[in-house]
Structure 1
Amino acid sequence: MGEMAQRLSKQDWLIHGFDVLRSEGHTGLKADRMVKALGVSRGSFYWHFDDIKSFHAALIAAWRVQINEQVIAQLSQLPDAKDQIKALMVRVFTMSRPLERGIRIWAGVDPLVFQTLADVDGIRQSYAQALLQTIGLPPAIAQSRAQMMMWAYVGHALSTVDVDDPEACAADFTRILTTQVET
């Protein structure tokens, strides 16, 4: 048991936390339950985290980087704003819904998670709005369409219905979002 505990890294604990969040939700994010599930001593957990609150803070911070900042950095590598929008919509319709759903439910009971989620949603919407403005949409139209993108994202995250053809759905949604406004 001690040998295993030595090998668990902070990242291992965070990965396990994401797995728990996907399968059980935030109520499963308890040190004793996770220690037992991993078959390690409590010392393994407390080697990396002062307490369960610090684990929760590290988990939500890792989610923010992994889900938000890394995705935007990857999409920004695409040369064309329209391609970025389509790739973003493909991600919307193929994302890990249990994790996003778990974060959103957790945000309803934890102020830190709520604030992090609000920040992330704001960054996501600003990114989408900037892309839409890059293709020539006026700021007010880009803002409302970016809001629609967020609603699609949140709606899909909380939905129990799968998208049959994410590529086709993303292409159609992209066409609708990027259609120029008649003046």
Structure 2
Amino acid sequence: MKTIERLTRNAWFEIGLQLLAAEGEKALTIDRLCQTAERTKGSFYHHFKSHDEFVTALLAYWQFEYTNRIIARVEQLEDLSDRRRELDRLAASVDSRLERAIRRWSGVDERVQLTLKQVDEQRIQYLAKLICELGQSDEETAHELAVIEYAAFVGFQQLFPEAESQWIERLIHRVTQLISSGK
């Protein structure tokens, strides 16, 4: 008899994020998660006490993987220009289906709305910090420029859901150039 490997919490989160991106938040039922994972509810409950606990942990995982981890990777680079390019590359590679699904979900779930607000603020603050470090402007102006750039990035994800990451990266770079030249 073949032994089935136990899923980790992170594996459950990855399954949840894939379902969310492909089918929306209504697909995040325990039954659907277990069906997709080919595991029993007992396996799910081994890691999570409830669906609510799963959702809360899933949101924390999304924030960590798609914001904190990206910032940490960028911060490892010493050269500020390299940081900027890497941030643009990593941002462009984020699954826009998932980002759009999170934004839609935030309209019907306060927990998601609060997490999304934290993520948006964290991303904008980091971008403003990077703009300041590059010597492009004072803190107030850097924050305003970061808001404009981030709004453009979110807009690209919304308007061009099927766009390739290289194209999004080029557009982000163009926005960066405009912002840099307009100090």
Kindly indicate whether the alpha-carbon contact (under 8 Å) linking 1:129 and 1:142 is maintained by their aligned counterparts in 2. yes
Aligned residues, how many?
A: 180
Distance 1:140 1:61 in 2: 29
Give 1:176's match in structure 2, choosing from 167, 175, 178.
Answer: 178
Question: For residues 7-18 of structure 1, what are the structure 2 equivalents within 5 Å?
Answer: 7-18=6-17
1:127 matched residue in structure 2? 126
Check 1:98–1:9 CA distance in 2 against 1; reply closer, same or farther (3 A cut). same
Q: Secondary structure at the match of 2:49?
A: coil
1:94 to partner: Cα distance: 3.0
Deviation at 1:86, TM superposition (A): 2.6
Q: Distance in 2 between matches of 1:167 and 1:26?
A: 28
The CA deviation string for residues 56-85 of structure 1, in whole angstroms up to 9 with x for no partner, is: 011001011101110001011222333322
In 2: Cα distance, 1:153 partner to 1:172 partner: 11
C-alpha contact (below 8 Å) 2:80/2:134 kept by paired residues = yes
Amino acid of the structure 1 residue aligned with 2:89: V
Superposed CA RMSD? 2.2
1:102 maps to 2:106 = no
Q: Indicate whether 1:65 and 2:71 are aligned.
A: no
- State the distance in 1 between where 2:134 and 2:39 align: 53
SS at match of 2:16: helix
Unaligned runs of 5+ residues in structure 2 are none
Determine helix, strand or coil for the equivalent of 1:7: coil
**1:167–1:111 Cα change, 3 Å:** closer
Gaps in structure 1 of 5+ consecutive residues: none
Moved over 4 A (4+): none
What is the CA distance between 1:166 and its match in structure 2? 4.2
What percentage of aligned pairs have identical amino acids? 30
Q: Specify which structure has the bigger relative contact order, considering alpha-carbon pairs within 8 angstroms and separated by 6 or more residues.
A: 1
CA distance in 1, matches of 2:94, 2:35: 29
The DSSP-based 3-state class of the residue aligned with 2:18 is helix
2: distance between equivalents of 1:78 and 1:18? 28
CA distance in 1, matches of 2:30, 2:24: 14
